Amino acid sequence: MVRLLLISNSTNAGEEYLEHSLPKIKSFLNGFQPQNAVFIPYAAVTFSFDQYEQKVNQRLKNIGLQVTSVHHYSVPAKAIEESDLIVVGGGNTFHLLKYLQDFELIEVVQRKVESGTPYIGWSAGSNVACPTIKTTNDMPIIEPHSFKAFNLINFQINPHYTDAHPQGHAGETREQRILEFLEINRNVYVVGLREGTALQIEGDKVKLIGDKPAKIFHYGKQPQDISPDQDLSFLYIDF
């Protein structure tokens, strides 16, 4: 059974790194103590993969978890094959996907997760769990071979979703951008995942975690807020 924890953002404003994420990760693991948790750091751009691994481990140790970054392996796919937990950090989604494709990790992660290996991602790490990265907010600083990602779920996520429209800003809102996506991709749900929230997925069961609603988009339907106590299983209905 597929088990995913897809977090909108690593850190809320005014908090320490991963502060709101740690309780969600601990609850998701539910007592499971991975012996070989691997970290995919490829979304990092302005700091090294070593620094990213160190930063993540510095916080994860508070819940008794340690990860080893795949960049230490000459064959990163081997690290994935031997893992019992996969963690994918945030950063630039295009950079992340390009490296995943270059190191031929897409299919191996798919196989592992579909066979039951838990997957935790935040921000870009949540984006790549989707069929494509077309609903990322990031600048395309590098060109991946395609936009196709892990396809671990059959809907799209827009992390860091906000309804904000700053005064004096004449550009498109986040909602308008998503509606543009839906005009071209009419059979896909998009979940606007607000900061501080996450989706926990067990098989085809989808649960929203956090104290804010998610905004659900689908072509031809009025966008609607869904609260954490509402059923999200409709996201797996095929259109």
Give me the active site residues, please. 123, 138, 160
Q: What is the amino acid identity at position 121?
A: G
**Closest listed residue to residue 188, CA positions, set 123, 127, 132:** 132
CA quadruple 60, 206, 129, 69: dihedral, nearest 10: 20
Nearest partner of 157 among 4, 8, 1, 2, judged by Cα: 8
- Rounded-to-integer distance, Cα 193 and Cα 148, Å: 20
